[in-house]
Amino acid sequence: MPPILLPLLPFLLWGLLGAAVQPSVRYEPTPMSVVQAMTDLAAVKAGDMVYDLGCGDGRIVIAAAQLGAAAACVDIDAGRIAEARDNARRAGVAGRIAFRHEDLFNTDLREATVVMLFLSPDYNLALREKLQRLKPGTRVVSHWHAMGDWKPQKKVDVRVNSREHPVYLWVIAGS
Protein backbone atom coordinates (compact mmCIF):
# COMPACT_ATOMS: atom_id res chain seq x y z
CA MET A 1 0.00 0.00 0.00
CA PRO A 2 1.38 3.43 -0.87
CA PRO A 3 2.41 5.34 2.30
CA ILE A 4 0.11 8.22 1.38
CA LEU A 5 -2.91 5.91 1.86
CA LEU A 6 -1.92 4.71 5.35
CA PRO A 7 -3.69 7.57 7.18
CA LEU A 8 -6.85 6.67 5.25
CA LEU A 9 -6.74 2.99 6.22
CA PRO A 10 -9.11 3.29 9.23
CA PHE A 11 -11.70 5.07 7.08
CA LEU A 12 -11.37 2.52 4.29
CA LEU A 13 -11.81 -0.37 6.72
CA TRP A 14 -14.76 1.30 8.41
CA GLY A 15 -16.41 1.78 5.00
CA LEU A 16 -15.88 -1.85 4.05
CA LEU A 17 -17.03 -3.22 7.40
CA GLY A 18 -19.97 -0.85 7.54
CA ALA A 19 -21.14 -2.07 4.14
CA ALA A 20 -20.87 -5.67 5.32
CA VAL A 21 -23.36 -5.20 8.16
CA GLN A 22 -26.17 -3.53 6.27
CA PRO A 23 -29.50 -5.35 6.52
CA SER A 24 -30.24 -7.45 3.44
CA VAL A 25 -33.89 -8.02 4.36
CA ARG A 26 -36.20 -5.05 3.85
CA TYR A 27 -37.66 -3.78 7.13
CA GLU A 28 -41.43 -4.01 7.30
CA PRO A 29 -43.10 -3.71 10.71
CA THR A 30 -45.27 -6.67 11.66
CA PRO A 31 -48.89 -5.57 12.11
CA MET A 32 -49.92 -5.75 15.77
CA SER A 33 -52.67 -8.29 15.04
CA VAL A 34 -49.99 -10.54 13.52
CA VAL A 35 -47.74 -10.00 16.57
CA GLN A 36 -50.67 -11.17 18.72
CA ALA A 37 -51.16 -14.23 16.50
CA MET A 38 -47.44 -15.04 16.69
CA THR A 39 -47.30 -14.89 20.50
CA ASP A 40 -50.57 -16.87 20.73
CA LEU A 41 -49.35 -19.54 18.29
CA ALA A 42 -46.10 -19.93 20.23
CA ALA A 43 -48.05 -19.92 23.52
CA VAL A 44 -45.53 -17.42 24.95
CA LYS A 45 -45.59 -17.38 28.74
CA ALA A 46 -43.55 -16.50 31.80
CA GLY A 47 -40.41 -18.62 31.86
CA ASP A 48 -39.94 -18.52 28.08
CA MET A 49 -36.87 -17.04 26.41
CA VAL A 50 -38.07 -15.50 23.15
CA TYR A 51 -35.59 -14.56 20.42
CA ASP A 52 -36.72 -12.29 17.60
CA LEU A 53 -34.22 -12.53 14.75
CA GLY A 54 -34.40 -9.29 12.80
CA CYS A 55 -36.37 -7.60 15.58
CA GLY A 56 -36.84 -4.21 13.92
CA ASP A 57 -38.63 -1.84 16.28
CA GLY A 58 -38.96 -4.51 18.98
CA ARG A 59 -42.71 -4.96 18.92
CA ILE A 60 -42.56 -8.79 19.09
CA VAL A 61 -40.13 -8.95 22.02
CA ILE A 62 -42.09 -6.19 23.79
CA ALA A 63 -45.28 -8.25 23.42
CA ALA A 64 -43.43 -11.34 24.72
CA ALA A 65 -42.06 -9.42 27.71
CA GLN A 66 -45.54 -8.10 28.49
CA LEU A 67 -46.62 -11.76 28.72
CA GLY A 68 -43.89 -12.38 31.32
CA ALA A 69 -41.21 -13.90 29.06
CA ALA A 70 -37.60 -12.83 28.83
CA ALA A 71 -36.55 -11.89 25.31
CA ALA A 72 -33.64 -11.11 23.01
CA CYS A 73 -34.01 -8.54 20.25
CA VAL A 74 -31.44 -9.29 17.53
CA ASP A 75 -30.83 -6.96 14.58
CA ILE A 76 -27.89 -6.07 12.38
CA ASP A 77 -29.15 -2.48 12.09
CA ALA A 78 -27.92 -0.39 15.05
CA GLY A 79 -30.67 2.16 14.41
CA ARG A 80 -33.36 -0.49 14.79
CA ILE A 81 -31.79 -1.72 18.03
CA ALA A 82 -31.82 1.83 19.41
CA GLU A 83 -35.46 2.24 18.35
CA ALA A 84 -36.41 -1.13 19.91
CA ARG A 85 -34.64 -0.26 23.17
CA ASP A 86 -36.48 3.08 23.31
CA ASN A 87 -39.84 1.43 22.56
CA ALA A 88 -39.23 -1.20 25.27
CA ARG A 89 -38.29 1.48 27.77
CA ARG A 90 -41.52 3.38 27.00
CA ALA A 91 -43.49 0.11 27.37
CA GLY A 92 -41.84 -0.52 30.76
CA VAL A 93 -40.30 -3.88 29.77
CA ALA A 94 -36.71 -2.97 28.76
CA GLY A 95 -35.36 -4.84 31.78
CA ARG A 96 -36.78 -8.12 30.43
CA ILE A 97 -35.14 -7.75 26.99
CA ALA A 98 -31.53 -8.16 25.84
CA PHE A 99 -30.75 -5.97 22.83
CA ARG A 100 -28.16 -7.48 20.48
CA HIS A 101 -26.67 -5.59 17.59
CA GLU A 102 -25.39 -8.61 15.68
CA ASP A 103 -25.79 -10.80 12.64
CA LEU A 104 -28.64 -13.24 13.29
CA PHE A 105 -26.66 -16.06 11.67
CA ASN A 106 -24.06 -15.71 14.43
CA THR A 107 -26.54 -15.48 17.31
CA ASP A 108 -26.27 -18.14 20.01
CA LEU A 109 -29.80 -19.53 20.37
CA ARG A 110 -29.11 -22.20 23.00
CA GLU A 111 -31.27 -20.40 25.61
CA ALA A 112 -34.24 -20.01 23.25
CA THR A 113 -37.57 -21.63 23.99
CA VAL A 114 -39.22 -19.57 21.22
CA VAL A 115 -37.70 -18.11 18.02
CA MET A 116 -39.67 -15.52 16.04
CA LEU A 117 -38.95 -14.76 12.37
CA PHE A 118 -40.13 -12.28 9.75
CA LEU A 119 -37.24 -12.50 7.33
CA SER A 120 -37.30 -13.96 3.81
CA PRO A 121 -37.67 -17.41 2.27
CA ASP A 122 -33.91 -17.62 1.69
CA TYR A 123 -33.05 -16.56 5.26
CA ASN A 124 -35.53 -19.06 6.71
CA LEU A 125 -33.96 -21.85 4.67
CA ALA A 126 -30.45 -20.75 5.66
CA LEU A 127 -31.48 -20.87 9.35
CA ARG A 128 -33.00 -24.37 9.28
CA GLU A 129 -29.83 -26.23 10.29
CA LYS A 130 -29.27 -23.85 13.22
CA LEU A 131 -32.91 -24.18 14.27
CA GLN A 132 -32.79 -27.99 14.11
CA ARG A 133 -30.07 -27.92 16.80
CA LEU A 134 -32.36 -26.16 19.30
CA LYS A 135 -33.67 -27.95 22.38
CA PRO A 136 -36.58 -30.30 21.71
CA GLY A 137 -39.85 -28.47 22.27
CA THR A 138 -38.52 -25.07 21.15
CA ARG A 139 -41.20 -23.26 19.16
CA VAL A 140 -40.31 -21.50 15.91
CA VAL A 141 -42.83 -19.05 14.48
CA SER A 142 -42.49 -17.32 11.12
CA HIS A 143 -44.61 -14.51 9.74
CA TRP A 144 -45.19 -14.79 6.02
CA HIS A 145 -42.44 -17.26 5.04
CA ALA A 146 -42.49 -21.06 5.29
CA MET A 147 -39.42 -23.30 5.75
CA GLY A 148 -39.25 -25.09 2.44
CA ASP A 149 -40.32 -28.71 2.88
CA TRP A 150 -40.73 -28.47 6.68
CA LYS A 151 -44.38 -29.13 7.45
CA PRO A 152 -45.63 -26.70 10.10
CA GLN A 153 -47.47 -28.04 13.14
CA LYS A 154 -49.92 -25.23 12.63
CA LYS A 155 -50.60 -22.34 10.26
CA VAL A 156 -52.99 -19.45 10.78
CA ASP A 157 -53.90 -16.64 8.42
CA VAL A 158 -54.38 -13.18 9.86
CA ARG A 159 -56.33 -10.71 7.74
CA VAL A 160 -54.96 -7.17 7.90
CA ASN A 161 -56.97 -4.79 5.74
CA SER A 162 -57.46 -6.83 2.56
CA ARG A 163 -54.28 -8.89 2.88
CA GLU A 164 -53.79 -12.36 4.39
CA HIS A 165 -50.68 -12.78 6.58
CA PRO A 166 -49.73 -16.44 7.04
CA VAL A 167 -48.13 -17.33 10.39
CA TYR A 168 -46.43 -20.73 10.76
CA LEU A 169 -45.48 -22.75 13.84
CA TRP A 170 -42.90 -25.54 14.03
CA VAL A 171 -41.91 -27.34 17.23
CA ILE A 172 -38.37 -28.72 17.29
CA ALA A 173 -38.49 -32.49 17.70
CA GLY A 174 -36.22 -34.60 19.88
CA SER A 175 -33.32 -36.42 18.24
* Cβ proximity of 94 and 73 under 8 Å: no
CA distance 148 to 134: 18
User: What pLDDT digit, counting tens, does each position of 24-66 carry?
Assistant: 788 999 999 999 999 999 999 999 999 999 999 999 999 999 9
pTM: 0.87
CA distance 12 to 48: 43
- 5 pLDDT band (50/70/90 cuts)? very low
Mean confidence (pLDDT) of the chain: 90
The whole-number pLDDT of residue 2 equals: 57
C-alpha count within 13 angstroms, C-beta hemisphere, residue 149: 0
Q: Which domains does the chain have, with CATH numbers?
A: 25-171 (3.40.50.150)
Query: Torsions phi, psi of 106, nearest 5?
Result: -105, 0
Per-residue pLDDT band at 3 (split at 50, 70, 90): low
Task: Produce one character per residue of 103-138: b if its CB has 16 or more CB atoms within 10 Å, e if not.
Answer: ebeebebeebbbbbbbbeeebbbebeebbeebeeeb
The residues that bridge with 167 in the sheet, in sequence order, are 143, 156
Q: How many CA atoms lie within 13 A of 97 on its CB side?
A: 32
CA distance 104 to 26: 15
